[in-house]
């Protein structure tokens, strides 16, 4: 527990931020995210899903309901939803959306508006996909690190003799 923060319900959010940074594909700023992620990219359930959705909704309404807002939650939390009537009405009017996802790739596509991309049999992603851009950037960083570690050391200087040159 970290005071008001418990568990790892922000781990998917952190991964989305990393993937956005690596790919150079921006994330929409009108969507909140909650959900834990495992090592397979599967979104896991979190506690307090109703409170998290309603809290974000309340903040959005205070800022002005002239825009559309959304929240991404774990698919496995859908059965736990018991939202107040005000939230349900906003969903019906199209002013608030709730997306339930099972994988990081599903959420990534929603957050970026760009297909995350599915690897083919050889592990290659469609060129325009977020995942292809992530892989390209990781290869670029790997090459930079390889080049840095293989560079030649600077030429050695001769030791100073203590004599002043004229």
Active site residues: 9, 52
Residue 19 in tokens: 């993937």
Distance CA 53, CA 50 (A): 5
**134-137: long-range contacts, CB 8 A cutoff, minimum separation 24:** 134/19, 134/22, 134/23, 137/22, 137/23, 137/24
The C-alpha atoms of residue 147 and residue 150 are separated, in whole angstroms, by: 5
Q: How many CB atoms lie within 10 A of CB 42?
A: 17
């Amino acid at each position: 527990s970290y005071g008001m923060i418990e568990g790892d319900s922000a781990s998917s959010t952190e991964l989305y931020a990393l993937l956005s940074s690596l790919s150079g594909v921006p994330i929409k700023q009108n969507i909140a995210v909650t959900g834990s992620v495992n090592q397979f990219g599967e979104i896991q359930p979190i506690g307090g899903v109703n409170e998290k959705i309603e809290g974000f909704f309340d903040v959005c309404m205070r800022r002005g309901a002239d825009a559309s807002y959304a929240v991404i939650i774990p698919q496995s939390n859908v059965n736990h939803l018991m939202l107040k009537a005000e939230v349900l009405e906003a969903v019906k009017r199209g002013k608030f959306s709730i997306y339930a996802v099972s994988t990081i790739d599903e959420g990534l596509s929603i957050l970026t508006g760009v297909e995350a991309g599915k690897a083919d049999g050889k592990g290659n992603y469609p060129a325009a996909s977020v995942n292809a851009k992530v892989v390209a950037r990781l290869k670029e960083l790997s090459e930079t690190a390889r080049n840095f570690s293989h560079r030649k050391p600077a030429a050695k200087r001769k030791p100073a003799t203590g004599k002043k040159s004229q």
